[in-house]
Amino acid sequence: MPVLSVKIGRMTLKNPVMPASGTFGYGEEYSKLIDLNKLGAIVTKCVRLKPTLGNPPPRLAETPCGLIASVGLQSIGVEAFIKEKMPFLRRFNTRIIANIGGETVEEYVEIAERLNGVKGLDGLEVNVSCPNIKRGGIAFGVDPETVYKVVSQVRKAAKNLTLIVKLTPNVTNIVEIAEACEQAGAEALTLINSPLGMAVDIEKRKPKLSTVLGGLCGPAIKPIGLRCVWQVAQRVRIPIIGVGGIFTATDALEYIIAGATAVQVGTANFVKPRVMLEIIEGIEKYLEEHEINNINKLIGSLQV
């Protein structure tokens, strides 16, 4: 049996497959359909400082081979997360990663401080695609200096947790942003959050989403995610978690070969709730068939 275990920062994962933030709640709903113990990690819905309602409906529209969504970082808030969600999550024999978001640097820091040391929590995934209200709603993640500031401060605030930063692809040069994160002390990067998209209802002549714009997810974006992972993998030393349009083991293997140490599965969970288990099995089968005894030998093995 090939070794599937990988390291992300200080965390050893039993395998490289985990859900993408926001597509798996806090694991509760899907725990009725799949055994969470089998996953490499669980990544939670975005945790914010205070409970927040999120965007008005409609929040969802289907698009070719994907969807656009604008949930708007609806959150139960960090206190409720710790009290109501962590007790459930820490029962499982897997790594728990909290995805966090805020509207100011201070908010990120406060959440990180509050989560640091929470029992059973292993990592933080800092979502820098959130709108920065001090800069007129432009995402934190589009500017290397702002990203550096957020990441280095969260780094100080949450010393006990593996620090992962999740980047937006809506930038001219994602490598520059990735390098800023590495310098600021990130232990891993998650690539990619969703490209900005839009859809129009031609009968009503209105946008299909209440917020006009939304994040494009699903198989449609796989080529973009792969491109970002490959570009960044050439330039940083920290591990990368690949995400974007992973639907099958083949998709996951494309990411791994392009340079991802682990992968996240997002919207595919909606379509095939057991897809992560299929992907784990598929990766294992591929390794066996190709006589690769350890997945780490496959990571970034792309011959260019």
Partner 1 sequence: MFLFESEILSNVRVADDLYLLTFRAPEIALRAQPGQFVHVRCNKGEHPFLRRPFSIYLVERETGMVKVLYKTVGIGTALLAEKRKGEQLDVLGPLGKGFNSKAVQKSALLIGEGAGLASLMFLAEDLRKRGVEVSAILGGQRETVHIGKRYFKALGVKVETVEGDTKKEEYQREMAELFREALGKGVDRAFGCGSNHLLALTAHVARMLKIPYEVSIYQNMACGVGACLCCVRKIREEGKLTYKLVCKDGPVFNAEEVVWEV
Interacting residues of 232 by C-beta distance below 8 A, sequence separation 6+: 174, 175, 178, 189, 191, 240, 259
Residues 36-65 within binding reach of partner 1 (CB under 8 A) = 45, 53-54, 56-65
Among 158, 159, 176, smallest CA distance to 167 is for: 176
Among 295, 280, 216, 256, smallest CA distance to 19 is for: 280
Q: Which is nearer to partner 1, 173 or 250 (CB)?
A: 250
Strands (E), 209-267: 213-217, 240-243, 262-265
Strand partners, 190: 166, 241
CB of 3 to ligand FMN, least distance (A): 25
Is the CB of residue 124 less than 8 Å from the CB of residue 148? no
Residue in 25, 77, 131, 185 binding partner 1, rule: CB under 8 A: 25
Binding piece for a second copy, criterion CB under 8 A, among 15-23, 71-79, 110-118, 194-202: 194-202
Q: Is 212 in the site for a second copy (CB under 8 A)?
A: yes
Residue in 51, 56, 117, 223 binding a second copy, rule: CB under 8 A: 223
Interacting residues of 4 by C-beta distance below 8 A, sequence separation 6+: 14, 15, 16, 280, 283, 284, 287, 295
Q: Which is nearer to partner 1, 146 or 267 (CB)?
A: 267
Q: Is 219 in the site for a second copy (CB under 8 A)?
A: yes
Q: Is 60 in the site for a second copy (CB under 8 A)?
A: no
CB of 22 to partner 1, least distance (A): 7
- Structure token digits, residue 28: 């509760």
Q: Which of 46, 65, 130, 217 is catalytic?
A: 130
Q: Is 169 in the site for ligand FMN (CB under 6 A)?
A: no
3-state secondary structure of 58: coil
- Structure token digits, residue 277: 């288990």
Interacting residues of 121 by C-beta distance below 8 A, sequence separation 6+: 86, 90, 96, 97, 98, 115, 161
Residues 79-108 within binding reach of partner 1 (CB under 8 A) = none
Using a 10 angstrom Cβ sphere, with 0-12 exposed, 13-18 middle and 19 or more buried, the burial of residue 173 is exposed
- Structure token digits, residue 191: 């690539």
Is 130 in the active site? yes
Intra-chain end-to-end CA distance of the chain, in Å: 29
Q: Which is nearer to a second copy, 100 or 216 (CB)?
A: 216
CB of 289 to ligand FMN, least distance (A): 25
3-state secondary structure of 184: coil
Binding piece for partner 1, criterion CB under 8 A, among 8-16, 66-74, 135-143, 158-166: 66-74
Residues 242-271 within binding reach of partner 1 (CB under 8 A) = 247, 267, 269-271
CB of 143 to a second copy, least distance (A): 8
Interface ranges with a second copy (CB under 8 A): 63-66, 68, 142, 170-173, 195-200, 202, 204-207, 212-213, 216, 218-224, 226-227, 230, 245, 247, 250, 253-254, 257-258, 286, 301-304
Interface ranges with partner 1 (CB under 8 A): 22-25, 29-30, 32-33, 45, 53-54, 56-67, 69, 71, 74, 218-219, 247, 267, 269-271, 273-274
Positions annotated as catalytic residues are 130
Interface ranges with ligand FMN (CB under 6 A): 20-23, 45-46, 69, 71, 73, 99, 127, 166, 193-194, 215, 217-218, 221, 243-246, 265-268
